[in-house]
Chain A
């Protein structure tokens, strides 16, 4: 494996979060009943004409600017012809040799290094319909006897972001691929142009991989499709690197082809080979006039770009005074925004970090969900910490209250009220409980009087039991020792 150098490239498709489709006024609601968001334009009916969506163009230019691209001053849409029923027109409107945005980059941090991933182009096209294959096994096209098509998705604005080849990252290549897609997702989310939900297909990745011996020309590449989670991006590159290395080690050669990634096994298998891939016969789309974004408009959009996630992380690292390593843990846990919001709600950075990376990360991990999917808000966490700081909850009780909040019982204070949980801070009641425990355990009390303070544990346990755990153990211990000294 170490005898080969990988070169990777990523093509990412992102559905824009516009209200309407790219070339018609149909709505774009995810999960709508099949074929209820269609019209003559997106059904490709004769005589219908497309008109480009201004919001989609604006979003694409903003993406290009955020990726440090140059924005075209004049460009056209192109017609990509192919025979497949996912587009009823028998072609897809895309961009070919005149993309809206070209030649940018995105910096990503991997293993303490900054790697600049070049961006070749960002172009705008329309998404295709969804096909359901009937008669074959598990809905796949192999063995299918017929297909059922839903055109709700056909025509939704789709942005394609293509990297330049990324070479020289060696064994880090799988991690670089993942870091790039993660950074891109966070950037797109910050721009508020897409909901970037890989599991719902609003962000999809194709991964190109090739291997070559050091000093030699780049090898033949394969394109792995169907890579639909951040983890899968990393796995797909790694598995394809291993597969190609074993082919090359055995004296074989790599076939240029499309491969499919399988989420369950983490393997790729050969798909349609490139030589049977369709000849798309691109030509300028005659039904749409050229786009010529006004440079002044582009400048306005550029000036209004939000802080990038990477700049924001650098700023927060300073504000929170955390190490590179701790910041990486926060990023990996997907907790940057959550901690930021918790701090904004009044918690200290350390306290916010303790909850999100501790108890809540454990819970999210057990449930197999993202931190942000937990039924607890940053405001809840801040409130919980304030209750601890005010002495109304011990850490142990706070965790119980958090359980309640996670179970949907309401905010921490609501859970405390409903469950009757609160630290017994009334010294009178606590002193009574301590005296009771001393009276019930004269032997232990005698030992403590002789200076064997370690024996106090038994009495602390008795008091905690009597107060149903709602006392602060340290306060109880101090009280016992002072009563017996």
Chain B
């Protein structure tokens, strides 16, 4: 049985706002399935006494003091945006399904 269905790939593409064609859906579903099945093989050797790894380095509590560090100017920030107005980033209407 496949680790991921074509419908799930289509759903993820929609959540990620990726325009994926029907042909691509077939292709990606197949590729992702191979990847997921390969990763799932790790489960074959996982033992109860080995906690899941979420970070590759065994570190905790990397924290910073609450001290202000200068950021970047508004001009620089907005210059990187595709569009801006009234000192703000301008984006197209969102959540069309709500309008």
Contact = CB atoms under 8 A, between A and B. Distances in A.
Interface of A: 18-20, 24-27, 33-40, 42-43, 45, 51-57, 74, 76, 81, 83-85, 88, 131-133, 135-136, 141-151, 272, 276, 278-279, 281, 284, 286, 288-293
B39 interface: no
Contacts of A38: 71-72, 74, 77
A142 B66 contact: no
Interface in B47-99: 54-55, 57, 59-74, 77-78, 80, 85-95, 97-99
Given A147-B93, A272-B98, 11 more contacts: A20-B69, A34-B88, A35-B78, A51-B63, A51-B64, A54-B66, A132-B88, A135-B93, A148-B89, A151-B77, A289-B62
A145 B16 CA distance: 21
Contact of A148 (B55, B61, B64, B90): B90
B89 A144 contact: no
A223 to B, nearest CB: 16
Nearest to B97: A276
6 contacts: A24-B71, A39-B69, A142-B99, A144-B93, A151-B89, A288-B62
Contact of A289 (B12, B59, B99): B59
A237 B67 CA distance: 41
A481 B83 CA distance: 86
Contacts of A51: 62-64
B71 A289 contact: no
Nearest to B73: A36
> 4 tightest A-B contacts by CB?
A25-B69, A39-B71, A55-B66, A148-B88
A141 B77 CA distance: 25
B16 to A, nearest CB: 7
Contacts of A36: 73-74
A55 B64 CA distance: 8
A150 B64 CA distance: 25
A472 B57 CA distance: 81
Given A54-B63, A150-B88, A272-B98, A27 B68 contact: yes
Nearest to A57: B63
A289 B92 contact: no
B96 to A, nearest CB: 10
Given A52-B63, A52-B64, A148 B72 contact: no
Contacts of B46: none
A53 B86 contact: no
Nearest to B62: A289
Name the residue among A84, A149, A272 with the largest chain B CB count within 10 angstroms: A149
The B interface, classified by DSSP as helix, strand, loop or mixed, is loop
B15 interface: yes
Contacts of A20: 66-69
A291 B60 contact: yes
A34 B72 contact: no
| Interface size class of chain B, counting residues whose CB lies under 8 Å from the partner chain | 35 or more
B15 A83 contact: yes
Contact of A147 (B17, B73, B91, B97): B91
A53 B68 contact: no
A214 B67 CA distance: 54
Given A141-B99, A289-B57, A289-B60, A34 B66 contact: no
Contacts of A142: 98-99
A148 B93 CA distance: 10
A26 B64 contact: no
A38 B89 CA distance: 12
A40 B69 CA distance: 12
A143 B93 CA distance: 9
A20 B67 CA distance: 6
A291 B98 CA distance: 38
Contact of B74 (A34, A40, A54): A34
Contacts of B98: 141-142, 272
A151 B92 CA distance: 16
Given A51-B62, A53-B63, A281-B15, A37 B55 contact: no
Contacts of B65: 54-55
Contacts of B11: 279
A54 B91 CA distance: 34
A30 B4 CA distance: 46
B90 A76 contact: no
Contacts of B86: 34, 132, 148
A26 B71 contact: yes
Contacts of B74: 33-36, 38
B78 A81 contact: no
Given A34-B88, A143-B99, A291 B77 contact: no
Contacts of A131: 94
A19 B88 contact: no
Given A34-B74, A35-B74, A149 B66 contact: no
A33 B75 CA distance: 12
A81 B15 contact: yes
A415 B95 CA distance: 58
